[in-house]
Amino acid sequence: MTIPTWRRWPAGCLLGTFLAMLLPTAGFTEPSAAHEALLKNQGWTSFGGVASGGQYSALDEINRANVKGLERAWTSRTGDVVEGPAIEGGSSFEGTPIYWGGKLYVCTPMHRVLALEPDTGKVIWRFDALSTLAEPPPRFAANCRGVSLWVDPDAEAGASCRARIIKPDIFARLIAIDAQTGKACEGFGDKGVVRLNDLDNGGEGDLYLTSPPAVLGNLIITGSVVGDNIVANAADGYVRAFDARTGKLAWSFNPIPVALSDKTGGSNVWSLIAVDEERQLVFLPTSSPSVDPYGVNRTEPIPLANAVVALDGRNGEVVWSFQTVHHDLFDYDLPAQPILFDLKRDGEAIPAVAQITKLGFVFMLDRRTGEPLHPVEERPVPKSNIPNERASPTQPVPVTPAPFARQQINPDDMFGLTPVDKLACRRRFDALRYEGLFTPPSEQGSIQLPSALGGGNWGGASLDPRSNTLIVKTQNLATIMKLVPADPAETRPTGPPVEFLKKPLNQTPYRLDGEFFLSPLGIPCTPPPWGELVGIDLDSGEHLWRQPLGRYPITDGVRTQASWGSPNVGGPLATGGGLVFIGAGMDSTFRALDTTTGELLWQDEDLPAPAMAVPMTYQHDGHQYVVVAAGGNGLAETKQSDAIVAYRLGE
């Protein structure tokens, strides 16, 4: 059956929504403002290119016909890198620069913001966020995926802090920096700083910021990272809007129902927010409530968790919401920025929002009402065998598009480099619980495919708005989720977990002992390809092409074969030249593919480290540049670097 959409209607939105439902597609033969902005985008002033997302630029100087002439224009070294795995403090460089006013702006893993010359990569100014702390700690690596830009429409050209770079940081602070000078904007918050941990966040534990905030008019809108697998009653996943001039709180939104605020938390927005400036709507990809694999404390529904939530950007009130996972026990939070576009149907342009998920689904919803634009069904899923667990009996599944990630395995699918290796995987499979998609965690140990790493994940999709082709990267890895009985009164770690799959689950009778589903040789038991790039026609829901993505380095100079793909972090960039640029794989390769066919057209196989970030592009002095952070990732235990690499066509 088609799932019901849960809504809460603010009084001020009733009339407009009622009219939209009476004529759901009438009058939309012309592109919406969001779709038009993406079609014409030639700048890069926010993480996804434009505020409505999409990771697309209309620039076409670099195109299918000449991309083989692409050369490195410059390599900039930030000086900010810590080599080694994340558990030992190793850095991850996931920053995507923005371009404005003849400068590039990027944040580093060591709490700095740099302004760079766009044609040379030379540092213009450097801002140290640790310097704004009363007692700066020893320098350490922390993730920063990007910065945001706000330009004061009422300030005169050249005025101090007319253009502000907004930096999020690991201490849950928003820092406003003058884009011209690199000095803190003293009038914003407390001497340039707004501190979210000074606010009442409900529950226990601090907040963290890794993703750049959204900008809507004169508001800076941010979610946060919550330690949702550390303690059952984690901090609530507030989304807040602050005045861009003063830093004063304008509104706040809490996805956790009041009745559950002292029992659970999370449902936060750790990824990117999208905005529809024309309709003054804010689109949130919310995450799972705490703690993910054990939901006994969640005694009532939490409909705004694991949901695309549309807020009225003027006051933070809910306009509509659509839940993609019920009572999440899997850490299947929404990992990527919603993408606003116009779905073409019967000669009309329907304002839509596309959301990818860790499960490998694409949900396409009417941007005005939240109604699905492709059929979605509620399908039965396996029951939990954990005492008192309220696992949902059904889960929403889009009929189209088909999943872009592998969602099923069987015993005969086990992979191994040798027969012995393959047999070991088969024996492990037989000893674990597995009943297909949404197999709940168990004391026995359950296979989870896709894993909580995706499927789709952060930075995972771009959109070519000319053809409505979604280009999404995916990985096909299984993990094991095992709930181990533990004394609820025992003291367990309370800081952020550095091992992604091992979590304390404080205030519950369990801890999570998770691991990748690997053979004795450390090779995934799931069959390759382990990483792919997929092209999807959003109008029809059809898959257009699919290509393996990345190669896994075994030793220096030796990699797995290209058809196997690799685990990946980061995402694609699509351009008006008919190209998709992406690194993301475990190899140190940056590549360009044909948007229409997925054919590999060009690659640079000698980056300083894997490019595990989202690329961007801009035009400066008449030349198009493509830029990507090639710094590797401590969590993926890749080679690491402090390099930002820029490309342009040769003379």
Class of 11-649 in CATH: mainly beta
Q: Which of 174, 455, 516, 428 is nearest to 325 (CA)?
A: 455
pLDDT in tens, 32-69: 999 999 999 999 999 999 999 999 999 999 999 999 99
CB 549 within 8 A of CB 472: no
| Mean pLDDT value of segment 318-336 | 98
Those residues whose C-beta lies under 8 Å from the C-beta of residue 24, and which sit 6 or more positions away, are 350, 366, 368, 369, 371
At residue 194, the 3 state secondary structure works out as strand
Q: In whole angstroms, what is the distance from residue 341 CA to residue 353 CA?
A: 6
CB 13 within 8 A of CB 406: no
- The percentage of the chain sitting over the pLDDT mark of 90, rounded to a whole number, equals 88
Reply yes or no on whether the pLDDT at 24 is more than 60. Answer: no
Please give the helix or strand (H or E) that residue 19 lies within, else none.
helix 14-22
Tokens of 527: 């069959």
pLDDT in tens, 155-214: 999 999 999 999 999 999 999 999 999 999 999 999 999 999 999 999 999 999 999 999
At residue 206, the 3 state secondary structure works out as coil
Reply yes or no on whether the pLDDT at 232 is more than 50. Answer: yes
Reply yes or no on whether the pLDDT at 457 is more than 70. Answer: yes
Q: Which of 340, 348, 271 is nearest to 310 (CA)?
A: 340
Amino acid 552: pLDDT: 87
pLDDT in tens, 506-518: 999 999 999 999 9
Q: Which of 78, 81, 157, 152 is nearest to 114 (CA)?
A: 78
pLDDT in tens, 272-308: 999 999 999 999 999 999 999 999 999 999 999 999 9
Q: What is the pTM of this model?
A: 0.94
Q: Which of 193, 190, 132 is nearest to 166 (CA)?
A: 193
Reply yes or no on whether the pLDDT at 452 is more than 70. Answer: yes
Amino acid 487: pLDDT: 83
Catalytic site residue from 169, 236, 331, 587? 331
Is 331 catalytic? The answer is yes
Q: Which residue is associated with the tokens 């004063």?
A: 248
Show the CA angle centred on residue 251, arms to residues 245 and 256, nearest 5°.
Answer: 140
**Mean pLDDT for all residues in the chain:** 93
Reply yes or no on whether the pLDDT at 455 is more than 50. Answer: yes
Q: In whole angstroms, what is the distance from residue 139 CA to residue 444 CA?
A: 41
Reply yes or no on whether the pLDDT at 18 is more than 80. Answer: no
Amino acid 291: pLDDT: 95
Tokens of 293: 């694999």
Domain assignments of the chain as residue spans, ordered by start? 11-649
